Every structure is written in C-alpha cells, then in structure tokens.
Chain A
C-alpha cells in the first residue's frame, strides 16, 4: 500500500495521524480515498478537482501536480508548497 504523509495542518482532520496507508493508483485516487476517510481534506488540498495551485505532490521524489500521476504500492506521497526557481 502507498504511504501518504499528512501535513501537520491537516492532522486535525485525521485525528492526529501523520501517515496513512492506502491503496490507490493515482494522485487523484489518493485524495479521493483520503476524503472518504477524512471528510473535508479534499477541500483543503484542492481547488475544484485540481490540486491547489499553492501545492505540489511528491511521489517517490517526483514532483507533480497531475491528478493522474501514478501511485504505486510502495509509493511515498507528500503534499508540499509549489516552488519556482531563478
């Protein structure tokens, strides 16, 4: 199962859980499953059905904002601030 790291400000919705294991094949499915288990979490992570522009996800070191991004059974998923560079 994939391991989802819950950012500290969202842990009020997960009862203090910092990590959640779940089965999902995409980032979109990760968020949908989190929402099913912890109602309200999608609203904090997304604008409409897309990841909030202020955020990006890290899936096994790969940064992405694509909801279709692949998540594997051993994936680590983090939600991070979006960054730019010079």
Chain B
C-alpha cells in the first residue's frame, strides 16, 4: 500500500513551509474524546422534544388532518402541520449550490395537499419528552385518498403514468409544453455532426444502464434545536453544510427577515450534499413559536432514509464510436434521472459530465429530470456524475477491448486537455486529466501482474466541476502572537485546518499558531455552503486574503515603530526586517499589541470559475462464482488536487469517495415494494461497505496547479466517487466475461447473471 504525491514535469512546484505538511487537525482532540458538540447533543433549559408523523403511503391526497386527540394528551405542547407554515412563494432561488423552489421546499418540509412519497412528513408534535411526542404523533388522524404510485423513472415518463403535480410543465429551452407531465426538465446538447461522427467510426458500441437510489449514508441523522423568542428572533442550532443557506431558506419558508434569524452550525457528522436543503429546522421553529420553548427535532435512521434526499436512480443509454486507430469520433447519451417527489434533480450536471473526460468532436446529450413517488433527491458527492461515468466508462472499456488497445492508453489518446471543448460548450482551461492517467499508468499497481482464477482488473476515470462562490473570513491577531481565524464554512472534511494552513503559510507562521473557529451567521460575513468541493479553494482564498490584510497592517505599524516607510520593510517567510530591525511575526505581533489598535484582517471573495477535478482508478477484484460476491483485492485512486494543502485530508477525501463508490457498485440500493415503501431503511439492511469489505485504498495525489488560486488549489472533495462503479464493473467483466449494466452488482444480481450465462 502506498500514498504518493506526483508533481508532473509539466508543472513548476513552489516551495512552501506549511502547505503540503500534515499538522494535527485543530478539532481532532474534541472529536476523538467525544467532546465535540453535535446538534443532537444540545440541551437547553425547558427544552421540548419533537417527533414527526410521516405518510405511510407513497402517493395520497390528504383529505383531512385531525390533531385534536394529540393536542389533548398530557405533556403535549404543540402540534404543527403545513397549515402553520405561511403560503409558500412560487419562487426559485439560487442558494449558492443549485436552486431551490420554495413552494416545493415548503411542500417537502410538511406535506400540503398530497403526500408524495412514503415517509413524507405530514405533521410534527412537541412534547415534554420524546416518548410523549412520538405517542402523540401516532394519535394524529389523517384521512388519505390513496393514489397510484410510480417509483421507476421510465414508468414515470409514460403518458399514462400517475401525475404527481398537475402544474408541472417540462422546463426546456425549446418550445414550452402545453400539457403537464412528470418530466421536470429536458436538457439537450449538440456538438459537431453526430451522424457523420458515427459514419467515421470503425467500432460503435451502444449500451443501456440502470442504477438504483442510493443514500449519502452520513453517520449523523438530521437534528436541530429551535428557539423562537418572544421578541420575534429565531435561533437555530443545526447540522448543516451551510448555515447561511439555512438562514435564507428559513427566512423564505417562514416569511421573516434574515436579520431575525441566527443559525449556529454545530459539528457535523457527514453530509455529502444531503445537508443543504432544510427538513426539520422550519418545523422545529414553528413548534417553538407555538409552545414558547426551545424544541429539539432529531430524526431516526429510518426517517433519514425515507424522509431525506438520496441520489437519483437512473436509466441511461450511451452510444460511442471510434476509429480502429483508437480515436473517438462520436458519442450520444440519453439520460433519465429521477428527481424524487419534486423537480430539480441532478440531471443538469449528469448531462454536462457524461462525456467530459474526452475530446469528442461529434456528440449529443439528452437529459430528463423526472418526478416520481420517492423522496426528493439531493446532491450526493459529484451529483449526477457517478451514474453518467458508469455508462461512458464501461462503453469506453468495451471499445478499447474491441480495438485491442490498452484501456489507459485509449483514455490517454482521447483525454480532454486545455482547449478541449465539452459537449455542453465551454472549453477547458489548464486541467490535469492527462497527468492523472499518466500517473496511474506509471503506478506500481498498474505495472504489477494480477494472477489467479476469477480475478479481473478494471480502470475508469471521472470528472467533476467544483465551485467557487462566496466566502468570508476574519483573522484577529492575539496578544501572544497567535491568530484566531473566524470563518463560516461548516467543517466536514478537515477544512478548519486546511484554511488555517493557508493563512499560516501567507503569514509565515506555524499552522498550530492559528486557531480556526466556525461561527454562527451573526459572527462572520456571508459564506456559501460547504459543498461543490469549494471550501479549501474559496474560503481558503478568503483566509489567504485576510492574511495579506494582516500583513499589510503589520507592515504599516512596523514602519511607524521603526520610523521608516512601509515600502522599506522586507517580509520574508514571516520575518519582518528593516536595516538592523528584524522580528518574526510573533515577536512583532506581541510588540504591536501594546502600541496601538488591534490588528484584524478581513476578506470576502466570490471566485466564479470551476476548479475542474479529475480522478482515475485501478481496481482488482475477485468474484466468487458460487455466490456472486465480489471482493475488492486492491484499489488505487489517482486525483489532480492542484496543490494538496494537507495531503492526509486529500487522501482521506480520495479514500472516502472511493469507498462510497464501491458501495454504489456492489451493494447499496433502496429496495421498494410494489406500493412504494422502502424495505431496508436501516444500516442493518441498507448495506454500506465497512472496513471489512475494502482494502486500504492507495492514493496518488497529482498536482497540476489551478492557475486561479494563489497556491494552485483545486477542489478535492467529490470527484473520487465518480470512477469506482465503472472501474469495478470493468474489473468484473475481466474476471467473469460478463458486462453488467445494472448497479449495484450485488451478489444476487451477479449470481443470476453468471447462472444465466452458464445456462442454468
């Protein structure tokens, strides 16, 4: 096993003192000693406990809700239904990480006229204790008219499918439809001449794929505590990826100004995109307003599975053609992703990513966003890209086999590079896919033999955009020469430390001399969500600029002290000098603290470019032909990180995404019965990989610096989930001779395919 950092000869690495080192994370002690505070840990004086009532039906009209019996129970303090939420705006707003329609969001938080999926929240109760709240929720009488449900994307697209929303008209840049349907959006891209492209191909492969609904599987269930004060101010402690996004959603859903709301981001036990849209915060807020007490509302695991947003199930058809010399000439994709109960799923990025690893002169993509009777889907680590990569990367593999070309060489031959025009239009700036594939090709893993029966090796690559967006930071120089960094990005993957390191590098001090704090929405400038792999890039840029602000102030103050001009002062690796004067940052900071005002650095940034991340995998598997079980023997992931600020955290993101991708490939899926009820809503039955299922994931960090960041940072949090399912599918083909087209390739599914192949 190895972890390797590769700096391609095409780049000119800079020398750093802090960046690239591996200091102990600032929040490490709190987390390993159990002292970190999560939302469910909070206990406020006189706090009530909340519980939900959820729909037992996948699709039903709500005729009436009678809460009288529940309200009469001793210990019950308040009951909330959608009637307690203001009438929602039919307004769609960009929240920094995708758009939210408030009418849909409000209807998802508490069902209005219809329950649209099993587990859809219908009402909630606050009581003096959790047991009373749960018991009271069961006493709420809801009269339903049960309607036919649809849970498969192609069924939902049929003309005669049960219609979820009678006001949903397909959003398209073409002619507006006149009839409602379950198709929320149709996306169409064209590049070149697709017919000509396929006519030029010597090999053309077309395949169909299906993937099932998969949950992010974060270990911490959703939880919030709300306190709606008599003065009209609302304070929320919550598990979220974006405190300012929660504030904005609450303001819109409750129709109160953002200035009346404070959101405190607690420590977060994973999110992966699933903790951006709100579920329980507005409900806890309404209950708190009604009962005049703080209210805690925390979900159970089954509620997380059935009532929050997983990633879409999908149907995909991909056709690609290449010349016998191995040059891709044409590609065509038809993608249908389920959006869950409300439109606005992951089809946009899926359509943009499906061919984004390759330079293909002629291509078309059609993508459909389809509503059906499952929970509203949400982002999940590179949302939409993993499904699409399964289709493209397995067709690519099949073409390479057909042409007798090494699969890495075939990818290198066609890899996107600077100047390549994607099928959706834009051309790439400097990117690192070629270097990432080259690193994979030169790895010890790729150059070692794989021997033994029923074993196979597969490769695949993947792309994800990554975002910039708004971030703010402030940094206070303390009397002892340390610096407190105040920022607003909830820390999911060690970002406190990666931000502190960028500030430290800029100031020329040690990472341990910086104390990073993630603070509430009243205590820092607006900061978009922790998502889109953006925090180390964008909030890191804010930390860097705050440090430059401090440095500027230190220079001015030192010039006053040393009676010279600011331009006379030299700063070198944190040492300030002028003639005989020479002081470290710490020495100067201590001296300055007693000679004038405090030094506070500030920055707010809004970088808009994408940081363009690429990842590639090699995986070795062994298939048990008797059971269909797939064992991962060895797994290597290579990824362009631009510049790894803290290599251990980059490796952690690469390994974590790989393991999630292994889960998609081999086990994870929602099982629905014919009435749309999920049958495996627990971690016992929803099979995620554990440490017993995977080997140590080997990592190769490739550093092709991002020209749009002072340290070259690219986002690293998401793309690692993209290639694993395709790489594993390709490895299973080599092991068994079978091309699998349906994820997950669980033991029953693979066993059946083997049996059918063997004529059993």
**Interface residues in chain A, defined as those with a beta carbon under 8 Å from any beta carbon in chain B:** 5, 7-10, 12, 18, 44-45, 47, 52-54, 58, 61-65, 76, 78-86
**In contact, B424 and A78 (Cβ under 8 angstroms):** yes
**In contact, A85 and B94 (Cβ under 8 angstroms):** no
User: If A54-B99, A64-B608, A84-B276 touch, does A7 touch B429 (CB 8 Å cutoff)?
Assistant: no
Most buried by A among B175, B190, B533, B608: B608
Distance in angstroms from A56 CB to nearest chain B CB is: 8
Q: What are the residues of chain A within 8 A of B173 when measuring CB–CB?
A: 7, 9-10, 44-45, 79
Give the residue name and chain of the A residue nearest to B173 (CB): A9
Give the residue name and chain of the B residue nearest to A11 (CB): B190
Interface residues of B in 308-356 (CB under 8 A from A): 346-349, 351-352
Q: What are the residues of chain B within 8 A of A58 when measuring CB–CB?
A: 425-426
**In contact, B465 and A7 (Cβ under 8 angstroms):** no
Interface on chain B toward A: helix, strand, loop, or mixed SS? loop
Give the residue name and chain of the A residue nearest to B100 (CB): A53
Q: Which of B254-262, B380-388, B688-696 contacts A (4 or more CB under 8 A)?
A: B380-388
Indicate with 1 or 0, residue by residue over B165-200, a CB within 8 angstroms of chain A CB atoms.
000000111110000000001011110000000000
* Cα distance, A54 to B173, chains bound together (Å): 10
- The answer, among A18, A81, A86, for a CB contact under 8 Å with B383, is A86
**Interface residues in chain B, defined as those with a beta carbon under 8 Å from any beta carbon in chain A:** 92-94, 97-99, 101, 171-175, 185, 187-190, 216, 271-274, 276, 346-349, 351-352, 379-383, 424-427, 429, 464-468, 531-534, 608-610, 717-718
22 CB < 8 A contacts A-B: A5-B425, A7-B188, A9-B174, A45-B173, A53-B94, A54-B171, A61-B427, A63-B468, A64-B608, A65-B94, A79-B173, A80-B425, A81-B352, A83-B383, A84-B99, A84-B273, A85-B349, A86-B271, A86-B382, A86-B383, A86-B717, A86-B718
Interface on chain A toward B: helix, strand, loop, or mixed SS? mixed
**In contact, B349 and A83 (Cβ under 8 angstroms):** yes
Instruction: Beyond A82-B98, A82-B99, list 16 extra A-B contacts (CB 8 Å).
Output: A9-B172, A9-B173, A9-B174, A10-B174, A44-B173, A53-B99, A76-B426, A78-B426, A80-B348, A81-B347, A83-B98, A83-B352, A83-B465, A85-B349, A86-B273, A86-B383
* Cα distance, A80 to B351, chains bound together (Å): 10
**In contact, A8 and B189 (Cβ under 8 angstroms):** yes
- The answer, among A18, A54, A62, A64, for a CB contact under 8 Å with B185, is A54
Distance in angstroms from B61 CB to nearest chain A CB is: 28
Q: What are the residues of chain B within 8 A of A79 when measuring CB–CB?
A: 173
Distance in angstroms from A43 CB to nearest chain B CB is: 9
Q: What are the residues of chain B within 8 A of A81 when measuring CB–CB?
A: 185, 187, 347-349, 351-352, 424
**In contact, B189 and A84 (Cβ under 8 angstroms):** no
**In contact, A8 and B188 (Cβ under 8 angstroms):** yes
* Cα distance, A63 to B98, chains bound together (Å): 12
**In contact, B99 and A85 (Cβ under 8 angstroms):** no
* Cα distance, A60 to B621, chains bound together (Å): 42
* Cα distance, A45 to B171, chains bound together (Å): 11
Distance in angstroms from A30 CB to nearest chain B CB is: 14
